Every structure is written in structure tokens, then in C-alpha cells.
Structure 1
Amino acid sequence: MVSHGFSAIRYETEVKTNGLSSVLMAKCQGCHQKFKFETSPQLLNNRNKSKHYDVNVRAVWGSMATRGGLAHLNESLATLNSPGMSQQTYTTIEQEIGNMWGEVVEEDLLKAGAEERKIAMEKGQFHEGVPCITVICDGGGVKEHTNIHTMRLEGYANSKGTLPTQHVCYKNWDESSQAMESNIILEGFLKAET
């Protein structure tokens, strides 16, 4: 509300920050009542009842999607004169997003597998009584899926002659990226019945 050229609400102080979000204190110029407000809404994760600020989740999600990592995110934020995010906040949100992505991918793969099985059965395509499909590997469908944060963490520890700290490690492939696709498909089919 603006009255006589000045704002009825006056900013007092920043109470706390959490990554890109802040809790601010303001004061009504009329009644002098003080109140706090958050610059971003909080999201509730129903799985583990954790709360994260929406802006932080979006920043980590974007960082994961572009494979930038925390250092890259904080460097970008610094150029915008914006506060950065702590390692603990980033890692917690990153793990929750990773778990969610894993569940969604697994669900999609199961649906796709069931659909392929149904199509094979409708076409009468069986091998020893088991519905079968044709799989073509061209080597172009898979890129290296090594988590950049994990590479940096392990590389730093190795350079210091120590073991990396406890972390969720996504590095599970040491051969060429061209060999990855056919290996994934073979491993999947070998485990298909279980």
C-alpha cells in the first residue's frame, strides 16, 4: 500500500537465508506490527517429510539436468550477485531428486516392457515359449553417465591420497561409452525373468 508517496510496509532485516531463499522481517508503518515472510514457498516431500524451498529445488534440478554441479551453480549465482547454496542443502535435494527420477524411470521401463511383451504376444513372436522382441544397438543411444560431482569428489580424494567421503556414487562403468548400450541391454535381458 502506498500512501502520500511512501510505502506502508518497511523492510527491517533479513532473519535467515537458506540457499536462494530468505526469511525477511518487515514492519507496518501504520500499526508498527512486525511480521516475517519467505521469499520462496516451501515444498513438502511426502516420502521423508522434508521441506525445501521451491527456488532451491528448481536450482538443483536445473543443475542436475545440465550436469553442472554445485560449484558451477554457485559460480553462476555469484555473477548474479546472488547468495550461493551450501553443500549440505545441495546434496540433500540432489539425492531426493535422484531418488524420484529413479522411481519414475523404473515405472516407465516396466510400462514399456509390458507393452513390448503384449505386442510380441499379439504378433506370435516367441522364443522357447517366451515372448521376444528385436533389439537394435547402434551405439548412439547412451552417453557417459558419470555423475560430475562424484568424479570431482573422487578425483580430489585421490589427489590427496585419501578415500572419498561417504556419498551416493553413480559411477559404475569404466569402459567406452560405445560399449555401454549393448552391455546395458544384455544385462537387462539376462535379468529379465527375475
Structure 2
Amino acid sequence: MDLKLDDDLDNDLDIRNSEQDGNENFTTTAMTMDHDLNYDLDNENTATTSAMNKTSVKDYRKSNKSRIHLSRRRIKYKGCIKRKDKKKNSVSKNNRDVEEIFNNSTETLTTNDHEEISHEDSSLNIREELEEGIEEERVTIEANQEYRMEGQRIVAIQDFINSLKLLGDHNKDMACTLSNMIVQKEIRNGLESTLIFKCNMCNKVKSIQTNNTANETSVIGIMNIGSGYSHLEQLTSAMDIPCMSNATYQKIQNRVCDSWEEAALESMIEAGQEEKRLAIENGDVTDNGIPYITVVCDGSWAKRSYRTNYNSLSGAAAIVGYRTRKVLHLGVKNKFCLVCKKNENHDSIPEHKCYKNFTGSSSSMESFIIAEGFQQSLNTHGLIYRFMIADGDSSVFKTLLDLRPYASHSIKIEKIECKNHLLRNYRNKLRDLFQNTNLPIILRRKVKVGTLFVR
């Protein structure tokens, strides 16, 4: 029995010694495997690694420590694989060749203590060279990557074709063509775009412009139909065209309004000179040698009054020459400013272009503008507006009589009633009669039938 127990003890000691030897072998092997996983992502199953797996992993799984080390190895392996997947997207074929050279060089290294140090130094050097190659290749890819454009653009077709022809002949010595030009970026300014091209052979950079008038023409068009930025944005969105910003629209709108105002003033001055010439030719001159003419006056509001509700915030009026049918004076009056309204409860109002220029009643806007035009006629055109053709509104004529703009020249303004307005006013009076319930029904019916013929 003693001999048998001794034999059993000897066997246990041998097993424990073999397990310790296996643990020591696996520790060295695991360190080498972890090192390879950090620096060699594409060749985990190389000959050296597979040989280590075969010789050590089976023995090491017998103990609890081996399972802990294996779990750590798996976690580290998964993290390496994730980093590997991210790098694969940016590494090109040339870098993969460098990685293969790196893998082949690491396979020749052994796992003893002296050779592990040389393996780490050589691996770091190779890894640095590999990363430098990756960065150089990444810069090359970004430089040669073509910019992707979306949507549609407004193009001046003939100018764009001519620019493409010049772009295709940018370097005849190297036989570069239009197909070698790669779009690098787009510089948008509202509805106008500048495209930057770079040749992938000679590296020359060229630019062409889609158009140079789309911003102003679009703003002018949207203003002519009485709309604003929101309608322009909806239109371009439906056409899949990138729209300009609201700030850009406002800048262009202000510039267009200033240009329109200058052009209108020049046109009115020319019309006044023409009216003056025709008056002199016709002998319509005062005793002081100042020509006088006949003008047509009328006004309107931004909101319909229906003859009862005169509360429009904006109104306009014009004076037109009777002979030339051209505008001699134009005025606009506003009772509201958005910026002033928003900041009326604040201590200070920000600097802005205020359009509020009238504080009276809406019904007096027309008479005020026309009276202003009569007062400026001598200074602006050198003319006297002696006869005025207008509607039946008596407030305008009364304002002119009270103002007496030509009193120094002993000229009294005379009014000529417009036939169209006379007929309309007469019909309105008849309509008021047959709508009056205080009158007999028979009389009201006859007046209503007769009103149908007054048109």
C-alpha cells in the first residue's frame, strides 16, 4: 500500500509540474499573441500564431487562469478587429502591400527573450512607416476625389459651353482633356455657382461660373409679380435648386429698389422735358414765359376701402402728363415700419432704413402726394400744372385750392372731371336710390331697371 501511495504521489507531482510548465509556456505564448494582434491585424492565422495555438491553448484550458487569459484575449481581439474595420475603409491597395511586407517580416521573428526585444523595435519601425504611407495615400485620395453635386443649377448655357471648351484645352502639351478635370468644390453665391476643377494629370486648377445674373434677375422677377422671399424659396424648392438666403435676398432687393428709384427719377425728368417742349410748340406759355400743361392725377391704396373702410397702411399717387402719357411725379406714403413697431417698447431702436413717412389719415394720402407733386413741378420740370383731370374726389382739389402753389404767377388751378369717373359716380348714386327702402317700391324697381343700361 505504501508503494502504491508513493506512486500516486509521484504521479500527482508530475501532473502538477506539467501543468506549471504548460502555464509558463502559455504565458510566453499569450504575450507574443497579444503583441501580434496589436501590430498584425490582417495575418492573425499566420504560421507562427497557428503553431502557438496548437501547442499551448489545449493545455492551458485545463486551469481557471487559462480561461481568464483567453477571455482577455478575445476582448482585445474584438477591439482590434473594430479598429481594423475602420482602417480598412481608408487604406488603399498600396498600403495593403506594405502591410503584407510587414506581416512577412514579423513571421521570421522568434519568441525567446532576446528576440522579443528586437521584434518590438522592428515592429514599431515598420508600423511607423506603414502609418506614414497611409497618411500620404489618404491625402492623395482626398485630392483626387470628385465633389458630388446635388440638385439643379441655373446656367447661362452659351457662356457655360464656351467655358467648358476652354477647360478641355487647358494643357495641350500633356494631352489633357475635359475628362481629366475633376470637380473639387462648388462655391455658391445665391443662385450663382463657381465650380473649381483640378486636372488629375497636370494638377492645374481652373474655375468656371454657371451665370452672373441669376440673383438679380430672380429678385426682380419675384418683385414684379408682387411676391417676396418666401415665394422665391418655394419656387426654387419645387425646382430642386438651392435658394439664396434671406439676408442675400434683402441686400439684392435694396440694391434693386435703389436702382429702380434712380431709373424712375431719370424717366420722369425726361418725360417733363418732353411735356415742356410740346407745350412750348403749342403756345401754352404764361406771361412770364413758363409753359403750362394738363395733367391726370389719381391715387390708390394697398388695401381696398369699399368706400367705407379707409384704414390702409400704405398708399400711392401719380401725376401723368396728358400729351405724353408719361409719369411726371410718383409718391408713396407709409404709416407702418416693422422694425420700429417691434422696438417701440425698447429704449432704443436699431439703425435701419425706415419706410414710415406719413402720420395722417389713410384717406388723405392721395391729396398729400398730389399736392406735393404740384409744389415741386417748377423746380423739377420747370412746368406749371394748370389743368388737372381727376375723379370726383373733392378733397384733392380742395387741398390744391387751399395750398395755391402758383399764387406768385397768378395762376389758378382748374379741374376737369374725368368722364369715366363721372359715369361711375352717377351709377353709384342711382344704385343708392333703388337700395333705399324709404322710397316707394315701384320707383325703386324702375330706377333699378334703368341703372342696368348705365354702364
State TM-score, norm by structure 2: 0.32
Conserved in 2, the CA contact under 8 Å of 1:60 and 1:90? yes
- CA distance in 2 between counterparts of 1:82 and 1:164 reads 37
Name the counterpart of 1:11. Answer: 183
Q: Gaps (5+ residues) in structure 2?
A: 1-167, 169-174, 303-313, 316-333, 380-455
Name the counterpart of 1:58. Answer: 217
Q: Deviations over 1:9-62 (max 9, x none)?
A: 222322x32111223222224434333333223xxxxxxxxxxxx221112221
Q: C-alpha displacement at 1:135, in angstroms?
A: 1.7
- CA distance in 1 between counterparts of 2:197 and 2:230 reads 33
Q: C-alpha displacement at 1:164, in angstroms?
A: 7.6
1:20-39 equivalences under 5 Å are: 20-39=191-210
Q: C-alpha displacement at 1:85, in angstroms?
A: 1.4
1:25-104 equivalences under 5 Å are: 25-41=196-212, 54-104=213-263
Any idea what SS the aligned residue of 2:297 has?
Answer: coil
Any idea what SS the aligned residue of 1:125 has?
Answer: coil
- CA distance in 2 between counterparts of 1:166 and 1:60 reads 24
- State how many pairs are aligned: 171
- Bigger Rg, which one: 2
Q: Gaps (5+ residues) in structure 1?
A: 42-53
Q: C-alpha displacement at 1:112, in angstroms?
A: 1.0
State TM-score, norm by structure 1: 0.67
Name the counterpart of 1:48. Answer: none
Identity rate of aligned residues, in percent? 31
**What RMSD in Å do the two structures reach over aligned CA positions?**
3.6
Conserved in 2, the CA contact under 8 Å of 1:157 and 1:164? no
- CA distance in 2 between counterparts of 1:37 and 1:60 reads 23
Higher helix share: 2
Letter in 1 for 2:190: G
128 and 179 in structure 1: CA distance in 2 versus 1, 3 angstrom threshold: farther
Higher strand share: 1
1:135-174 equivalences under 5 Å are: 135-137=295-297, 144=302, 154=338, 157-158=341-342, 166-170=351-355, 172=357
Which protein, 1 or 2, shows the higher relative CO under an 8 Å CA cutoff with sep ≥ 6? 1
